[in-house]
Amino acid sequence: MLKSSGIAQKGDWEAKLPQAERRKSGPYVVFECYQQIPCNPCESACPQKAVSIGADINTIPRIDYGLCNGCGICVSRCPGLAIFVVDEGYAPGFAKVLIPWEYRPLPAKGESVMGVGRDGKELCPAEVLEVRTGKRQDRTAVIGLQVPLEFANLVRGIKVGGGKDER
């Protein structure tokens, strides 16, 4: 389905997740790279050396989850906006999700937004926890969201002005 619609289906993205044990132990990165293309900024961006591509720049990145601490530096470095960080243990009943964001205006910390899926459909209310715009972000903001835990690996974008407090 990915090749015909361009939208990753459950089996596609589930294959990109670390083992359940690792997902419970703190923030982890999710690379939703599905095609072999010449790209490697994520490899050099990782201060933990958890991302490897190797000699062939067309190789899909591999993550060593023993080294990855979920810092999120790689999120803004991906030109395909295909890297996310998920923390399933953020708060009881909630996850924190870091997403790349290249639209303006930027949402504000504390703002209520609507979390959307890979297909752009609305999924759940979310709260903006942080907005990273520093030099490290390389002109791509990184938005930290609090989402209900069951949407941790479903929310991949936001609709600004569409949160639970909007009327």
pLDDT digit string (tens) for 20-64?
999 999 999 999 999 899 999 999 999 999 999 999 999 999 999
| Residue 167 within a domain | no
- Distance between CA atoms of residues 54 and 76, nearest Å: 21
| Residue 166 within a domain | no
Burial grade of 167 (CB within 10 A; 0-12, 13-18, 19 or more): exposed
**In the prediction, which pLDDT does 4 show?**
67
- Distance between CA atoms of residues 144 and 132, nearest Å: 8
**In the prediction, which pLDDT does 3 show?**
66
- Domain count of the chain? 1
- How large is the average pLDDT for residues 122-137? 91
Nearest to 118 by CA among 14, 8, 5, 4: 8
**Mean pLDDT for all residues in the chain:** 91
For residue 79, the enclosing domain spans 2-160
| Residue 165 within a domain | no
The sheet carrying 122-132 orders its strands as 28-31, 83-91, 94-101, 141-148, 122-132, 112-116, 157-160
- Asked whether the predicted pLDDT for residue 137 surpasses 70, the reply is no
- Distance between CA atoms of residues 69 and 80, nearest Å: 22
**In the prediction, which pLDDT does 167 show?**
37
